[in-house]
Amino acid sequence: MTAGDAEPDAVLYDVRPSGVAVVTLNRPDRLNTWGADISAGFYAAIDRAETDPAVRVIVLTGSGRAFCAGAHLGSMATIGDSLGRPLPDGQSHDVSKIVGERHPHFLTALRKPVIAAINGSCVGIGLTHALMCDVRFAADGAKFATSFARRGLIAEYGISWILPRLVGFGAAMDLLLSGRTFYADEAAHLGLVKEVVAPDELMARAVEYAEDIAANCSPASLAVIKAQTYGDAERDVVDASARAEKLMGESLLRPDVIEGIVSFLEKRAPSFPMLQEGPS
């Protein structure tokens, strides 16, 4: 890039004809570390995909050798400047300048599935965002770490909520307390990722999976199932079952059910309507 060239977008956005939106963190020179430029572009891209009726599934990945290798240390300097000395009364370290306006768990509240294609290093806040995606694929050899304890930090922004739900309490405590590096194969063994794929096949596999959902699953059903699954994590089984019964009744009033049954009987791919604005 020459001195006169504009800096490339921090986040790339592309919608495939299949209804899959690919969101790519695009600061490969710094391993896509999380900063204000990436957070702003990321929120804009996710909002664009969420509100576009033509988009049915979102795939999140990184450019270059990393998915997201944690927080951008250049951004950390704005907080680090005040560390080691008292702050004036009424002031605090503003970590929102790094994280951005939304915590990673906002991904769980989207109405559309989010598939992570973890192409390389996935550390700290990058790992937290990946865990808040609904399904994860990883490139063979990709490195993972919580790292927080090794930086004098704590289990940030909901990772202490999601990680035990994905890998179990014991494994989560190991990964959080040790902050150790582990690799894609162990991540798959723990259930943290669905599949480990050769690096040059990762995006094709993740997009293939997303396209299968986009082609064969009802967008309205997907929206309700996501809300059920994350919401039911906070309910007991009686409440969850009662709520499911209510939601089932509502689903029977949608045209998706007729299309799902008819397409199955006719042995053809379904043609579900687009997701409409507002809650499903």
Q: How far apart are the first and last CA of the chain?
A: 46
Give the pLDDT score at 246: 74
Count of C-beta atoms within a 10 Å radius of residue 198: 11
Kind plus residue range of the DSSP H or E element containing 248: helix 237-251
Q: How far apart are CA 99 and CA 121, in angstroms?
A: 18
Look at strands 135-139 and 195-197 and give their pairing: parallel
Give the pLDDT score at 134: 98
Low-confidence residues in the chain, pLDDT < 50: 1-3, 76-93, 280
Closest CA to 165 of 225, 219, 234: 234
User: Are the C-beta atoms of residues 76 and 95 closer than 8 Å to each other?
Assistant: no
Count of C-beta atoms within a 10 Å radius of residue 157: 19
Question: What's the pLDDT tens digit per position in 37-55?
Answer: 999 999 999 999 999 999 9
Give the pLDDT score at 215: 96
Question: What's the pLDDT tens digit per position in 149-193?
Answer: 887 888 888 898 999 999 999 999 999 999 999 999 999 999 999
Structure token pair of residue 221: 């059903």
